[in-house]
Amino acid sequence: MFSVVLAASKLWWYVSRSAGIVSWVLLALAVLWGLALSTRALGKRPAGPWLLDVHRFLGGLSVLFVLVHMLGLFLDDYEPFSLGELLVPYAKDWKAGPVAWGIVAFYVMLAVEGTSLLKAHLPKRFWHGVHLASYALYAFATIHLLTVGTDRQNPLLRWSVIGSIGVVVFFTAYRAIGPGRAASIRVAGKPSVKSGEPKP
């Protein structure tokens, strides 16, 4: 009975903890999927718009779980956060630096996701510049996970982080100096398809 009461008292802590991990996993997958698409690692002409939809879905879902993570922190009784402490870096003294990484990551995430939703109404160069902030978002979120997360010592989580960093570095190098660079340049250099014209 006591264990049930104890677990209930930590409910929001468990919610915040698990949602934080899930949001990082979804973010990492979104970044990796986006890199795989942009480097043409999934093929010269990936079939179907669903591949891009998967990338967008992962990004949107990661935002949802970040909000659940923040809600859990707000409702938790052990180390509660006020709304201001959730949104303003260094407003809370508890692990101020590690928490600040998470807050900054949240704002970068909003910028990336917001401009992605408005992509059709924004200059391509502006959208692309903001979207490149996904690298910083991934880095900030990873630092937050490894410096403030309760499960940061978990071997599975640590190896997952190491593995994802390795894949991100590989795809980034592949895009910058490998075959992915030539593919990206060719696609970027193609004129956009005008409305009403058949796609190639």
User: Would you give the distance in Å from CA 73 to the centre of its chain?
Assistant: 19
Coil vs helix vs strand at 189: helix
The pLDDT value recorded for residue 171 is 84
The pLDDT value recorded for residue 58 is 93
Q: Are 102 and 65 in contact (CB under 8 A)?
A: no
Would you say residue 185 lies in a domain? no
Would you say residue 41 lies in a domain? yes
How many folded domains does the chain comprise?
Answer: 1
Would you say residue 192 lies in a domain? no
Would you say residue 74 lies in a domain? yes
Would you say residue 170 lies in a domain? yes
Burial class (CB in 10 A: 0-12, 13-18, 19+), 174: buried
Number of other residues whose CB lies within 10 A of the CB of residue 19 = 20
> Mean pLDDT across the stretch 54-69?
94
Place of tokens 């002409």: 45
Would you say residue 153 lies in a domain? yes
Least trusted range by pLDDT, from 38-42, 79-83, 182-186: 182-186
Share of the chain above pLDDT 90, in %: 53
More confident residue, 102 or 35: 102
The pLDDT value recorded for residue 104 is 97
Record the pTM.
0.80
Question: For residue 78, what are its two tokens?
Answer: 């052990």
- pLDDT tens per residue across span 125-168: 999 999 999 999 999 999 999 998 778 788 899 999 999 999 99
Would you say residue 40 lies in a domain? yes
The pLDDT value recorded for residue 186 is 52
Q: Which domain holds residue 72?
A: 11-178
Would you say residue 78 lies in a domain? yes
More confident residue, 163 or 180: 163
